[in-house]
Amino acid sequence: WRYENYKDETYLRRVVLPLEVLLLKLPRIVIKDSSINAICYGAKLMIPGILRYDNGINVGTEIVIMSTKGEAVAVAIAQMTTAEIGSCDHGVVAKTKRVIMDRETYPRKWKEGPHAKRKQELIKSGQL
């Protein structure tokens, strides 16, 4: 009633909490905006897509994949420890368990890099 008549959201905000509140206890990995849409389509999280990560990540641990804005993108299972993430320059960090964010919320960025463009040119010219 209060929201409908006065547009006051205070009572609603006490009851309805964002999903990220439930995921606070899990370790987090913050990823680049360019890799968010790939994760939303079910891709595995690779090291080049990581910006920041929490300490205490072990193999098999449930983690939350977050955007730079603090939005939950997916829940995943870690495939590397914190030490391995810091020391490696390639590899699978986590396998996606459950995608939270809708697809196409962030623009699609795969097949736009220099290697992909070169491959597309080779395909068009018939060399590949």
Please write the tens of the pLDDT for every residue from 73-83.
Answer: 999 999 999 99
Domain ranges of the chain: 17-125
Name the fold adopted by 17-125: 2.30.130
**Average of per-residue pLDDT across 110-119:** 78
Predicted TM-score (pTM) of this structure: 0.75
Read off the pLDDT band of 110 (50, 70, 90): low
- 92-99 and 45-46 strand pairing: antiparallel
Distance (Å, whole) CA 17 – CA 72? 13
What does the pLDDT look like over 38-75, one tens digit per residue?
999 999 999 999 999 999 999 999 999 999 998 999 99
Query: How large is the greatest C-alpha to C-alpha distance in the chain, in angstroms?
Result: 67
Cα dihedral 49, 52, 57, 63 sign: negative
At residue 78, φ and ψ (nearest 5 deg) are -70, 140
